[in-house]
Amino acid sequence: KQEVTQIPAALSVPEGENLVLNCSFTDSAIYNLQWFRQDPGKGLTSLLLIQSSQREQTSGRLNASLDKSSGRSTLYIAASQPGDSATYLCAVVWGTSYGKLTFGQGTILTVHP
Amino acid sequence: EAGVAQSPRYKIIEKRQSVAFWCNPISGHATLYWYQQILGQGPKLLIQFQNNGVVDDSQLPKDRFSAERLKGVDSTLKIQPAKLEDSAVYLCASSQRGLAVQETQYFGPGTRLLVL
């Protein structure tokens, strides 16, 4: 069964700290992997999309890496800010689907001043 | 560019009642998705449309859920009759072509349903 798991379920850090969110998936035959951000009462916003042929993607203070052989991805957030507080979701598209996203359960991040 | 629109934003109903949600995707987007997000979980795909045809409805509980996209633009998701376990946020998303799997999906704000 194709599944996505995220650890930890929740994370609280002081402002300015660098942090890593983890995502693992059961089937290495992925097409791509995306990281989303979800704010309370709002929809999902795509942060980074990594194609299966890529090892990492960067956007500002965010860096996402992909290791298909081990079935893992990490989202690195540098110099965290209170505005980064949100739920972060990892989602995978496997090669056998028509763009269908399979999500992990998310990591709730709180950055306190 | 206007985003994905959904209505209503909130709905409270009693079990065994029916409810309908509406979604208007980004103009020109061929693919439309409905996801169910139960509290504490990630979204789960219920149904995917390509224009007005169904691509994937394998996780749609067809005994009580139905969805349509008659003119290939906006879409309606219906639950009849609702159960307590249907309490969730229902998210609509769209993408330009959809079958090109490297595309980004754009999400609406969701409809929060509470079944009492």
What pLDDT digit, counting tens, does each position of A68-102 carry?
999 999 999 999 999 999 999 999 998 766 678 99
Across chain A, what does the average pLDDT equal?
93
Q: Strands (DSSP E) along A1-113, which ranges? A: 4-7, 10-14, 19-25, 30-38, 44-51, 56-59, 62-67, 72-77, 86-94, 102-103, 107-112
Gap from A71 CA to chain B (nearest CA, Å): 18
Gap from A50 CA to chain B (nearest CA, Å): 9
pLDDT at residue A15 tops 70: yes
pLDDT tens for chain B, residues 1 to 116: 689 999 999 999 999 999 999 999 999 999 999 999 999 899 999 999 998 899 899 999 999 999 999 888 999 999 999 999 999 999 999 998 766 556 788 999 999 999 99
pLDDT at residue A54 tops 70: yes
Exposure on the CB side of residue A113, measured as CA atoms within 13 A: 1
Gap from A19 CA to chain B (nearest CA, Å): 21
Q: Do A99 and B105 touch (CB under 8 A)?
A: yes
- For residue B10, the cross-strand partners are B112
d(CA B82, CA B33) in angstroms, rounded, equals 21
Mutation to test the A interface, candidates B10, B58, B101, most A Cβ within 10 Å: B101
Exposure on the CB side of residue B39, measured as CA atoms within 13 A: 7
**Pair of tokens at residue A74:** 């990490």
* Residues in chain B, total: 116
